[in-house]
Amino acid sequence: MAEITRVPIQPIAKGSLTKLWLGVAAAIALGAGIAWAAVPAGVTVDTVQAGTGVNPGESDVLFVKYTGKLADGTVFDEWAPPPIPVEGFFPEGSPLFMGNVVPGFREGAMKMQKGGKYVMEIPASKAYGDAPPPGSQVPANADLTFDVELIDFMSEEDFQRRLQALQQVMQMQQERQGGAPGGQPGGAMPPSAQPVPMPQPAPPPQQ
């Protein structure tokens, strides 16, 4: 019977084991780096002035002052004061429904706090992508930047209750003006007393 030649396992030289583990760790780190680099850039929110309290929920109504800009600094959208007085009913700023904005704006807003000021960077993949709104200044596949001040936020139910209360008060004021609604010939209401329509901002915020 032929004798099997035995190949002994050579002992690992002193210090080689440490080098082996370092090599394995480096390979793992390199693989993780490649995997991380393959992940698309996400929404970033830089705090200019810290706010306080809890963060908005995904179905809340925000009241914000904002400016939307392209990468070259072109302003494509910004907030405007409401056309009628709403003091005592709604906070200052433009009302934005979280369900009506692009995913990136909603994602970033959920990291904000009341009273805070922020700079939000939204990649095109989480903004309009290759299909911006018709007539918009936003080109296809454009990254967006928003300067945002979160004045306040509330639930949509709370917003609806306040809206109804405001409309009732305005209706009472119209009736006190006498005769036809609004005191205008033929029952026409003056522009400043028209019932408040439900805001429908286009995503990202467009009034």
Walk along the chain (207 residues) and give the pLDDT tens digit of each residue: 555 444 444 444 555 545 544 454 444 444 444 444 444 568 999 999 999 999 999 999 999 999 999 999 999 999 998 766 677 889 999 999 999 999 999 999 999 999 999 999 999 999 999 999 898 899 999 999 999 999 999 999 999 999 999 888 888 888 888 654 444 444 444 443 344 443 334 444 444
**8 A C-beta contact, residue 125 and residue 103:** no
The H or E element spanning position 164 is helix 156-176
User: Token pair 């690992």 is at which residue?
Assistant: 12
Q: For residue 116, give the nearest of 57, 179, 46, 176 by alpha carbon.
A: 46
Amino acid at 99: G
DSSP string computed for 62-126 = EEEEEEEE-TTS-EEEE----SS--TTTS-SSEEEEGGGS-HHHHHHHTT--BT-EEEEEE-GGG
DSSP string computed for 29-68 = HHHHHHHHHTSPP--EEEEEE--BSPPPPTT-EEEEEEEE
Domain boundaries, the chain: 44-159
CATH of 44-159, one of 3.40.50.720, 3.30.1370.10, 3.20.20.10, 3.10.50.40: 3.10.50.40
Six token digits for residue 155: 């639930």
pTM for the full model? 0.66
202: β partners:
206
Q: For residue 101, give the nearest of 167, 159, 43 by alpha carbon.
A: 43
Six token digits for residue 16: 């080689």
